[in-house]
Amino acid sequence: MAIGGKAGEVFTDINVTPLTDVFLVLLVIMMLIAPQINQTVLKVIPPSASQSPQKPQKDDKEKINVFVTSTGEIKVNDKPVATADTQGVMAAIKEVQKQFGKDDLPLFLGADSNALEKYVVAVMDAAAGCDIKRLQVMPLTNSPKK
């Protein structure tokens, strides 16, 4: 390959061959890793219950209890949510808020040990959308009966 130009002129062109080699290696790595990423399922591991009993709250009935089962069913105050997504949970939470006439109710979230994380995150996202300021993730030893 002949390089034209005058004597003493600085060669300023970029050699793209090494850059292309790096991109091809990264492409091969991504092609090998991508199928493995889709096969993984994130699981929620709820915290274990402590030995100390919890203090009863003042308004024990004025709260929102949300439970996520391992099958993806979401229950808000023991009523199943029609669609297990953020919008469906938001509608159920707003219904409970309207029932009690308060917007600042605490939300207690429980989940089976085999519940998928996307359903728990959908509940948390719905709580944020309903301006819930107090959210507590409850450790569970048994799931509620169906």
Domain range spanning residue 93?
64-137
* DSSP H or E stretch at residue 108: strand 107-111
User: Residue 67: pLDDT above 60?
Assistant: yes
- CATH code for position 119: 3.30.420.270
Q: Work out the pLDDT band at 113, boundaries 50, 70, 90.
A: confident
Q: Work out the pLDDT band at 46, boundaries 50, 70, 90.
A: low
CA–CA gap between residue 103 and residue 96 (Å, rounded): 9
User: Residue 56: pLDDT above 50?
Assistant: no
Total domains in the fold of the chain: 1
| Sheet strands (E) in 11-141 | 64-68, 74-76, 79-80, 107-111, 135-137
Q: Is residue 12 domain-resident?
A: no
Give the strand pairing for 64-68 and 74-76: antiparallel
